[in-house]
Structure 1
Amino acid sequence: MEKQLSNPPPGHGKAEDVGISRDVDLGQVLDFEIDPGQEKKVLRKLDIVLIPLMGICYMMQYMDKLALSQATLFGLREDLNLVGSQYSWASAVFYFGYFAWSWPSSYLMVRLPLAKYISLSVLVWGGVLMCHAAAKNFGGIMAARFFLGVGEASVAPGFSLIIGMFYKREEQPSRQAAWFFGNCVSNLIGGVVAYGIGNIEIHTITSWQLLFLFLGAITAAIGFFVLVLLPDTPLKTIFLTKPERTIAHQRILKSKAGVNETGVFRWDQAWLALRDPQTWFLFLYTFAVNLCNGGLTSFSAIIIQGFGFSPLRSLLMQMPLGAAQIVFLLITSTVATFVPRTRVAMMVLNTSSSMIGMIMVWQLDENNQRGRLTGLALGATFAANIPLALSLITSNVAGFTKRSVTSALLFVAYCVGNIVGPQCFLESEEPHYDTGMAVSVAGLALGVFFLLCLLVYYIWENRRRDARYGRPEDLSEVQAIAEGLSNKTDLEITSFRYVL
C-alpha cells in the first residue's frame, strides 16, 4: 500500500495530497451523498439514450461490413472483373485500414473529446461506404474498403470506453452486450434489407451499387445523431440536468471504477499495457477466433448458396446466424451479469459452441442442408463474446490510457485475424472451402485454450495479491476510493482484484 495512504486525510484533502488524479477532490467524493432514487433515474436516462444510440450505430457497422458479401450475389465480382484471390483481398483490405488506424485512433481517443471523435468517424465511414458504388475495378474497391476500415476503427473501442466512463464495473457486462445487440440484429435483418434492395427494379445503377448507397446514407444520417447526443464525459451529457450530471460523475468516482482522464496520453501506461499478460492472452484469443470470423463475414453468402439455395434466398438464409447470436448473447450476458465469476466461462461456452458448429458445416454430408445451416448458425455464436471481452477490459484494466491501448491491441488482433482468415478460403475450393473450414476450427480451438490461460492467470494473480497485500475488503473507505481515483493501472493498485 502506498505510504501516503497509511494515514488517510480527513474530509477535504486535495487530489495531490493522496496521490490521486488531478482535478478530483477526495473529500468531495466522500461527502457527496447520492439518493438511490435519483441514481436510478440517471441510470435509466443513460440506458434510454446511450444504449440504443450505440446499438443502432453498431448495427449499421456490421451491416455495412456484410454488404460486400451480399453484393457478390448481385454480380459485384463480375462487374468489377475480380478474378482469382482478388475478392479475398478486397475483403481483407478493410482490416488493413482498420489495423493501420487502430494505433493512431487509440491515441486520438485519449487526446481529443471522445464522442466528437467517434461522431466524425461515423460520418467518414458513411461517406466512404457510398463511394463503394463508384468503384469500377479492383483498385477502386480496394481503396474504398481500406478507407472504410479507417472510418470504422474507432467505433467499437470508443463505445467500450464510453461504457467504462458511465457505468460501474458490475453494470458493464449487460450494457456492453446491449449495444453489441445491434450486431446480432444486423445479422438478422441484413439479409432481408439486401433482399428487398435486390428486388427493386432500377436500370440506371446495379443492385449492388444501390445497396452501398442506401446503407451509406443511413449511416451518415446516424452520425449526426451521434454527434448531438453522445457525450464526451458525464459532466457534458446534454440529456441530463446539471444535478443529474453531477450524480452520473460522482457515482462512478464512488464506485472506485477509476478516473477517465482525457487530454493526456500516459506513455508509462501504454508500456504497462504491453507488459501485461492479460493483454496478450486477450490478443491471442481475439486473433485466433477471428480467423473464423473473417471467413464467415466475407464468404457466408457464398457458403449458404453452396447449400443449394438461390442467390436471393441465400440472403434470407443469413437470418438464422443472427438469431443464434441473439440467443447466445442473451443467455451468456445474463449469466455473466448476475452470476459472479462467470464472464470467462461464458466466453469459453460461446467459443466451444462455434467450434462444434463449424465442424458440422465442414463434416456433415453435402445433402444435409438443414444440419449444415444449423452448424453455420452455431458457428457465428462466438461473436457474442465481443461484449464480454470488452467488459473484461473496462472492468480489469485500470488507467484510462492503458485501457485505451489494450482495447486498441484487441482490435489490432481482430484485424489481423480477419486479414489472414479470408486468405484460407480458396477460390478453387468454392463453395465448400475445406482449407478455410480447417483453419476456422483450429482457430476456435486455440481461442478456448487462450481463454483458459486467461482464467488461470486471473485466479493466480488474485491469490498472489491476497497473500502479499491482504484482502481488499480490509482497506478503509478513504484508502479504497483514493486508489480507485488515482488513474493508476491495475498492475500498480495493490487492492485491485480481477473480475473472472
Structure 2
Amino acid sequence: MEASTMDEKKMSVPGDETTSIDGRSAHSPVEGSIESRDLDKAYLYLNHQSEAAETVDLKTLRRKIDWWIVPIMFACYTLQFIDKVVINYAAVMGITKDLGLVGNNFSNVASAFFIAYLIAEVPNGYFLQKVPVAKWLAANVFLWGVATACTAAAFNYHSLLVARIFLGIFEASIAPCLMLISSQWYTKSEQAPRFSLWYCGLGVGQIIGGIVSFGFQHVEHSSLKGWQLMFIVLGVITSLVGVATYFILPDTPMKAKFLTEAEKVALLKHVSVNQTGIENHHFKLTHILEVLMDVQIWLMVILTVL
C-alpha cells in the first residue's frame, strides 16, 4: 500500500478491493502461521468492508477528528495535573495543621503518590492490552476524581496517605492511554502536534490550580474547611469528565459513530503507515522482552528521571 499523508487534499476509498493494514489485498489469504487472535481488529474490519467508491477529504477528516478527540484528552490531562498538585495548595490553606501532620508526614504523603503511580504503570500495560483504551481511561478518570473528593474526608496522616496512594494508582493510566489513543487516530508525523496540545494541560493546570486555590481560600463554610471544599469540587468535576469521556471517546476508529464508513476506511488506511495496528487483545510475554531490550526506552527512562 502506498503511504499517504494528511497533507494530501483527497484520498480515494475503493469499494471493489480493500487494502489491509500490511498492504495485502483484503481478499488475499492469511498465512496459516498467523492465528486469528494475532490479527489486528482494523485488518479484520477492512477485510469485511464493501463500501462504494468515495472520495474523502483528509484535511476535513483530520479537523473533524481533532475537534472530537483532542479536547477530551486535553481536559483529562489538565485535571490529572490539578488533582495531583492540589495537595500543595491545601498545605497553604491549613491541611497540615488540621490533620496534625508533623515531621516528614507531608513529604511522605507526596512521595506515596509517585511510588503508587510508578508501581501501577506495570499492570496498566497489561490492562491496556486487554480492555478498550477509551473505557479504561474513562474509568480511571472517574476513580481518581472519587479519590480526590475523598481526600476531603481525611482526618489524620494515615487517611490522607491512603487517599494519595489511590490517586497515584488511578492517575498512572493517563499518559499511556493518551499516547495509545493518539496512535490509533494519527500517523507518527501527526502525533507530535497532538501530544503537544494535550500536554499543554500542564501549563493550563498550573494557571487554573492557582486561581482555584485563591478562590477557595476566601470561601467560608460552617462545617467544612476551604481545602475540603476544594477537594470535593475538583473531585466531582473530574468524575463528571470521566463520565463524559466514557460516552464521547470511541474505543477505536472502527466504532466511531461520528465518522461515516468511508471515513473510517480512509482513516484506517491512512494510519496503517504506523505499522502498529489499532486494537489487539492478545497479550504476549515477548512484548515485555522487546521493551526491556529497546535502548530507546531506557534512554527515555534516564531522561525522565534526570
Q: TM-score w.r.t. structure 1 length?
A: 0.52
CA apart distance, 1:127: 0.6
> Residues of 1 paired with 2:274 and 2:117: CA distance?
33
> Residues of 2 paired with 1:65 and 1:27: CA distance?
41
Are 1:14 and 2:29 counterparts? yes
1:213-255 C-alpha deviation (Å, 9 max, x unpaired): 11101001101110001111110112223332222222212x2
Q: Secondary structure at the match of 2:237?
A: helix
1:126-160 C-alpha deviation (Å, 9 max, x unpaired): 01111000101100100000001111111111011
Choose from 284, 289, 310 the match for 2:302.
284
Where does residue 94 of structure 1 map in the other structure?
113
Judge conservation of contact 2:56–2:266 (CA < 8 Å) in 1: no
CA apart distance, 1:25: 6.9
CA apart distance, 1:10: 7.1
Are 1:112 and 2:131 counterparts? yes
Instruction: State how 1:81-480 maps to structure 2 within 5 Å.
Output: 81-253=100-272, 255-288=273-306
CA apart distance, 1:258: 2.5
1:470-491 C-alpha deviation (Å, 9 max, x unpaired): xxxxxxxxxxxxxxxxxxxxxx
The amino acid that maps onto 2:277 is: V
Judge conservation of contact 1:132–1:144 (CA < 8 Å) in 2: yes
The amino acid that maps onto 1:16 is: E
CA apart distance, 1:100: 2.4
Q: Secondary structure at the match of 2:39?
A: coil
Judge conservation of contact 1:90–1:145 (CA < 8 Å) in 2: yes
Output the aligned Cα RMSD: 2.5
Judge conservation of contact 2:131–2:281 (CA < 8 Å) in 1: yes
Where does residue 417 of structure 1 map in the other structure?
none
CA apart distance, 1:256: 4.0
1:181-218 C-alpha deviation (Å, 9 max, x unpaired): 12211112210111111111222110111110111010
> Residues of 2 paired with 1:96 and 1:247: CA distance?
42
> Residues of 2 paired with 1:63 and 1:216: CA distance?
10
> Residues of 2 paired with 1:214 and 1:258: CA distance?
40
Q: Secondary structure at the match of 1:227?
A: helix
> Residues of 2 paired with 1:138 and 1:26: CA distance?
52
> Residues of 2 paired with 1:11 and 1:78: CA distance?
66
> Residues of 1 paired with 2:281 and 2:27: CA distance?
26
Judge conservation of contact 1:112–1:262 (CA < 8 Å) in 2: no
1:161-187 C-alpha deviation (Å, 9 max, x unpaired): 000111001101100111111221111
> Residues of 2 paired with 1:199 and 1:185: CA distance?
22
1:255-295 C-alpha deviation (Å, 9 max, x unpaired): 2442133311121121111011111111111112xxxxxxx
> Residues of 1 paired with 2:277 and 2:117: CA distance?
28
1:367-398 C-alpha deviation (Å, 9 max, x unpaired): xxxxxxxxxxxxxxxxxxxxxxxxxxxxxxxx
> Residues of 2 paired with 1:9 and 1:153: CA distance?
38
> Residues of 2 paired with 1:46 and 1:177: CA distance?
16
The amino acid that maps onto 2:249 is: L
> Residues of 2 paired with 1:60 and 1:121: CA distance?
12
The amino acid that maps onto 1:164 is: S
The amino acid that maps onto 2:304 is: T
Where does residue 368 of structure 1 map in the other structure?
none
Choose from 51, 63, 87 the match for 1:44.
63
- The 1:256–1:155 alpha-carbon spacing in structure 2 relative to 1, beyond 3 Å, is closer
> Residues of 2 paired with 1:190 and 1:121: CA distance?
21
Where does residue 20 of structure 2 map in the other structure?
none
> Residues of 2 paired with 1:50 and 1:9: CA distance?
29
Q: Secondary structure at the match of 1:16?
A: coil
Where does residue 15 of structure 2 map in the other structure?
none
1:430-482 C-alpha deviation (Å, 9 max, x unpaired): xxxxxxxxxxxxxxxxxxxxxxxxxxxxxxxxxxxxxxxxxxxxxxxxxxxxx
> Residues of 2 paired with 1:47 and 1:267: CA distance?
34
Judge conservation of contact 2:146–2:239 (CA < 8 Å) in 1: yes
> Residues of 1 paired with 2:32 and 2:46: CA distance?
11
- The 1:201–1:112 alpha-carbon spacing in structure 2 relative to 1, beyond 3 Å, is same
Judge conservation of contact 1:14–1:26 (CA < 8 Å) in 2: no
> Residues of 2 paired with 1:67 and 1:201: CA distance?
19
Where does residue 485 of structure 1 map in the other structure?
none
> Residues of 1 paired with 2:173 and 2:46: CA distance?
36
> Residues of 1 paired with 2:141 and 2:114: CA distance?
16
1:344-378 C-alpha deviation (Å, 9 max, x unpaired): xxxxxxxxxxxxxxxxxxxxxxxxxxxxxxxxxxx
Q: Secondary structure at the match of 1:278?
A: helix
Q: Which has the higher contact order (CA 8 A, sep 6+)?
A: 2
CA apart distance, 1:28: 6.2
The amino acid that maps onto 2:218 is: N
Judge conservation of contact 1:110–1:265 (CA < 8 Å) in 2: yes
Residue segments in structure 2 that go unaligned for 5+ positions in a row: 1-22
CA apart distance, 1:26: 12
Choose from 86, 89, 92 the match for 1:67.
86
